[in-house]
Structure 1
Amino acid sequence: MMVKILTSGFPNGFSDEFSKVLNTYIKAGMNFVFVASEFENIHEKTDWYCNHFLEMFRNCGITFGSVDIIDSRITRKKAQETVRNADVLWLSGGDTPTQFAYLKSYGLIPYIREQKGVIIGMSAGSINMTRTAICSLTCDHDKLEIYEALGLVEFSIEPHLDKDNITDELLELSEKYPYQSIIFIQQVDGLCRSLNV
């Protein structure tokens, strides 16, 4: 059974509450796959973030049996095989449409959709987990972009919502997609909480 966790980010590490959630589904020795948001130009940054999150996992008592990074340093075929065999798949943050374009060009979308393990999306990764990705100007995207994404969850989200900045743009988008709720979430101690607006 696929477990889907959507997050915004962890500026202070994993909270105790989030660590408990992770320990419910993730056991020591599982294999961890970190999917970059930009596959070609920031390998050093990708490695740093992967190691940074691995340290957070270790701090909550989870060590992995193997770790793989998906970006342009591996072949398309190897990337697909790696996603297929992942126990824990981390879709990183970064530029949301760029990440989705790489997922598509590497042929990873069907493998992610068939995943039976734990998928954790952070920021851009969580937006791309939705049925319809909505990248709004309000939430610091360069332009408004809306596209069909992975479809792992039936709603759309805004992972970096400032509850004091619910703009007309966000309200109009939530009305434009009435059959698909847009859930605005904010981070509280590492976990994202839904807000009713």
Structure 2
Amino acid sequence: MQTYFLTSDFPNGFPEAFITALKQTIVRQEHFVFAASSFDKAEVNEKYARKIMDMFAAAGFHFQTLTILDDRLPLAQIDQVLEQAGVIWLAGGDTLAQHASFERIGLREKLKKTTAVLIGMSAGAINMGDQIVLARHELDN
């Protein structure tokens, strides 16, 4: 059985209720995978992956490895990385760019096979679905 968390941003760190739910759910802290929203922005991905890892550390989680899933990770290694993961974090950010990257590597299908805890934040939560609708409203000024 898979466990999913769908979230928005955490501007003040993880709230206690979220930490409690994580502690009840996460059993493997060896490997953490951070799936980026913009696969071609390595520096940005590093920044946000570290921010998320810092919030996990503040909550008492200490993962042995962090793998950032973006264009730097060879396609041949993706399945192995996902298989080893205890937690897979689908980052927030550019929903459409992330969707295109997920489609390119077949990530949603791969995620159906994982035993990792899946956490989708904002764009990542949207892109966890099999059918995705992104409504954009433009306001007339």
Give the partner amino acid of 2:116.
G
Identify unmatched segments of 5+ residues in structure 1: 141-197
Aligned counterpart, 2:100: 101
2:35 equivalent in structure 1? 35
SS in 2 for 1:133: coil
Say if 1:7 and 1:120, in contact at 8 Å, map to a contact too: yes
Q: What number of residue pairs does the alignment pair up? A: 138
- The yes-or-no answer on 1:117 pairing with 2:116 is yes
Question: Which shows bigger deviation, 58-67 or 22-31?
Answer: 22-31
Identity value in percent: 36
Q: Helix, strand or coil: the match of 2:4? A: strand
Distance 1:59 1:28, change over 3 A: farther
> How far apart are residue 96 of structure 1 and its match?
1.2
| Higher relative strand content | 1
Do the aligned residues in 2 keep the contact of 1:33 with 1:82 (CA within 8 Å)? yes
Residue 5 of structure 1 aligns to a residue in which SS? strand
Q: What amino acid maps onto 1:101 in structure 2?
A: A
Larger relative contact order (Cα-Cα within 8 Å, sequence gap ≥ 6): 2
Taking the aligned partners of 1:111 and 1:84, their CA distance within structure 2 comes to 9
Structure-2 residue corresponding to 1:185: none
The one-letter amino acid paired with 1:117 is A
1:62 is matched with 61
Counterpart code for 2:127: N
Amino acid at match of 1:113: K
Q: Does 1:17 align with 2:35?
A: no
CA RMSD of aligned residues (A): 1.5
**Alignment partner of 1:132: what SS?**
coil
8 Å CA contact retained: 1:28, 1:65: no
Distance 1:8 1:26 in 2: 19
Q: Which is further off, 27-36 or 62-71?
A: 27-36
Which digits, 9 at most, give the CA deviation of each residue in 1:26-48, with x for residues without a partner? 246331000001111x2111001
Q: What is the alpha-carbon distance in structure 1 between the residues aligned to residue 72 and residue 47 of structure 2?
A: 15
Could you tell me whether the CA contact under 8 Å between 1:84 and 1:112 is conserved in 2?
Answer: no
Q: What amino acid does structure 1 have at the position aligned with 2:10?
A: F
Partner AA of 1:115 in structure 2: T
Is the 8 Å Cα contact of residues 28 and 86 (structure 2) preserved in structure 1? Answer: no
Larger C-alpha radius of gyration, 1 or 2? 1
Greater helix fraction, Structure 1 or Structure 2 = 2
| Residue of structure 2 equivalent to 1:145 | none
Q: Could you state the TM-score of these two structures normalised by the residue count of structure 2? A: 0.90
User: 1:18, 1:117 → 2: CA distance?
Assistant: 17
Residues 9 and 120 of structure 1: is their aligned pair in 2 closer, same or farther, counting only changes over 3 Å? same
The amino acid that maps onto 1:74 is L
